[in-house]
Structure 1
């Protein structure tokens, strides 16, 4: 059950490819999942050269000739990409008999969204206040996603790990968020739905009253913004039906056709390049990212909120990434088991755990979560992420995997 460690290119640039890969091998792992196409962030990096790393939107390699010719959207190129750092990592891994997967953030890119707002999410009021959110229904975004998948697959990686290949949520609209109006979970969900012309058209073609849904969202969210009390409780189909009506729920459910068809195109493109697609569902990340205490609804059951139909994707995608960001090993087991039931018995499940805070406070807890993931049907356990954690936290990995191997060498 050999898993991988998520690694950022900036971390490798600081420490050197050979040093990082030798340390990863010391953890008992023979795979790395490297950020080939990332998003803007500011991260505290405990063993990085500057201890704080600024990351930019874009790819860590020169885009292959011809792939983006004539496309409306072209990925920004990261500083230092001309030096081909990803190729250096792939080569160094090959020398060590290690496998590299290319991790790519697809539809969350504030640089592209700010430059061309028409390809971003359009809320029920007609605003484009989600510059980081590229809309998966927009034809130019879909062409961009397919080209980006091909570009990453051509970097000599065994597989492409696709993050954000679905709709996003309201809270991920921009780098810094300020909201002094108390929005409840359902109000945030309605405010995050996209009502661009392409989304409206797709929903209408499926028999949904898209304009009625938009008007209901405008009425409900507008009232809360004007001072009405927000709705309480988790977002479920039943609760949303009672709060916003069946047309809104039908509109939200129709988004799964948009995502399923896009993922199908991307999976075919990656396969044509001789690589394997791993679909990384963001639901578990959203639910537990802040504190490792996800609300009651299991990630697999709530994936529909991002337009993700796991049953349909189980027929199209060979591998799934399952961020199990929870402190409780029993919750990890429940989430993994629900994914297994949804995608079927023959799909690979790569369970993503965080070895340190806020999910994990000890080596024993990490080991318990690894056992829970395995027992519930996880095929591999991946760990996130090398550059974000002190070495002493990363050193929990070998024991958690049940291996006597040494911690990563300094």
Structure 2
């Protein structure tokens, strides 16, 4: 089974490429998925050059002038990008017979969002309260995403692994900020919907009363802000219809056209550059990232909440990636099987596991998850991430792959 290990450029730079790749080769994986375009983060890196690594938004290569020269949005550039670490890694992996994939964060970029707030999502109250979330409906964001996909493909990677190439959720992926209003899951979902001019216009073109949806969202969430009890329970289409009405549900569903068309454009651009797109659905991360205990709804069934239409994308992209962040191997098997049912049989399905905490506490548990991934119809299993877990945790990978 094909497999890959996620790494950051800082991992390679800090430990040295030969040492890192020697270790990775020893784990029995067939490829490396390197962070070509990152988002801001603060990570504990137990065997890194710094034990706490502060990451910035930006790319690890000089942005090509012919792609970004006329664009409003240009990715920030990481320190050391002029040394072209991705090109060096391409040569080093090729010598070892390892594939190289370019992990690319597309629409999470607080640096760009704070500089140009109008390209970010606008909530039902008219606030630009999520500066790291670039809106996939905005024309400038769409041009930026296509150019970024092309730029990463030009680094000679076997595939461009697209993270955050869809809508986000309110509060997911942002630093902790004071919020002492007890919002329920559906209130959080409503607050995360984008009502910018471009999103509303696209919804209207699809026959949705966008203004009615916005007014209903602001009425419901505003009522909770004023002291109304929040609704509990999972966000499902039926529950959301009962809570917010059919126009809100129709508005939320209309976002899939935005995402599908954008992914199609990026995939075509990446293919033209001689690579291929792996669309990474972030639903599994949103459900289980913190503790590995996702809510009962399967990730594939809840992907619509982020504007992701898996069936449509399954006909457009050559490869789909799923984040299986759950403690229970049986739950992972159910998630993977649901993704497989939504994806054409001739399309690759890659599943990302975490070899350590919070959802994998033993080598046996990791082996059980790999078996679940294999038996549920996936084509590849990947592991996240080299620099974030201790060496003994990484040492679980070879036995899990060979079990």
Give the aligned length: 403
Counterpart of 2:383 in structure 1 is 383
**Residues 132 and 172, structure 1, Cα contact 8 Å, conserved in 2:** no
Q: CA offsets per residue over residues 74-121 of structure 1, 9 Å max, x none?
A: 000011111111111111111211110000000000000000000000
Aligned partner of 1:137 in structure 2 is 137
Structure 2 alignment gaps of length 5 or more: none
Name the residue aligned to 2:236.
236
Q: Shift in Å at residue 175 of structure 1?
A: 2.8
Q: Counterpart in 2 of 1:407?
A: none
Compute the displacement of 1:176 (Å). 3.0
**CA shift at 1:244, angstroms?**
0.1
Q: Is residue 250 from structure 1 mapped to residue 250 from structure 2 by the alignment?
A: yes
Residue 58 (structure 1) aligns with: 58
Which residue is 1:33 aligned to? 33
Q: Tell me the distance in 1 between the aligned counterparts of 2:30 and 2:370.
A: 17
Aligned partners of 1:146 and 1:216: how far apart in 2? 34
In the other structure, the counterpart of 1:95 is 95
Q: Any idea what SS the aligned residue of 1:401 has?
A: helix
What secondary structure sits across from 1:330 in the alignment? helix
Q: Distance in 1 between matches of 2:177 and 2:252?
A: 24
1:325 equivalenced with 2:325 (yes/no): yes
Gaps of 5+ in 1: 404-410
Q: Distance in 1 between matches of 2:170 and 2:33?
A: 28
Q: Are 2:172 and 2:286, in contact at CA under 8 Å, matched by a contact in 1?
A: no
1:274 aligns with 2:289: no
Secondary structure of residue in 2 paired with 1:130: coil
Q: SS of the counterpart of 1:67?
A: helix
Q: Distance in 1 between matches of 2:246 and 2:20?
A: 52
Deviations 1:39-88 (A, max 9, x none): 00000000001111010001001112311011010000011111111111
| 1:333-367 C-alpha deviation (Å, 9 max, x unpaired) | 00000000011211101110000001101000000
Alignment match, 1:408:
none
1:226 aligns with 2:226: yes
What is the rounded CA distance, in whole Å, between the counterparts of 1:182 and 1:89 in structure 2?
Answer: 47
* Cα distance in structure 2, aligned partners of 1:151 and 1:46: 31
- SS of equivalent to 1:42: strand
CA contact (8 A) 2:102 2:160 kept: yes
* Structure 1 length-normalised TM: 0.97
Q: How far is 1:189 from its partner?
A: 0.2
Distance 1:172 1:354 in 2: 19
Deviations 1:267-324 (A, max 9, x none): 0000000101000000001000000000000000000000000000011011011100
Query: Residue 352 of structure 2: SS of its match in structure 1?
Result: strand
Alpha-carbon RMSD across the aligned residues, in angstroms, is: 0.8
Distance 2:269 2:25 in 1: 31
Query: What is the DSSP-based 3-state SS (H/G/I as helix, E as strand, rest coil) of the residue aligned with 1:133?
Result: coil
- Give 1:314's aligned residue: 314
SS in 1 for 2:232: coil
CA contact (8 A) 1:133 1:173 kept: no
Q: Hey, what's the Cα distance between the residues in 1 that align with 2:368 and 2:177? A: 35
Q: 1:362 maps to which residue?
A: 362
Extract structure 1 runs of 4+ deviating beyond 6 A: none
Cross-structure match for 1:349: 349
Return 13-22 or 326-335, whichever deviates more.
13-22
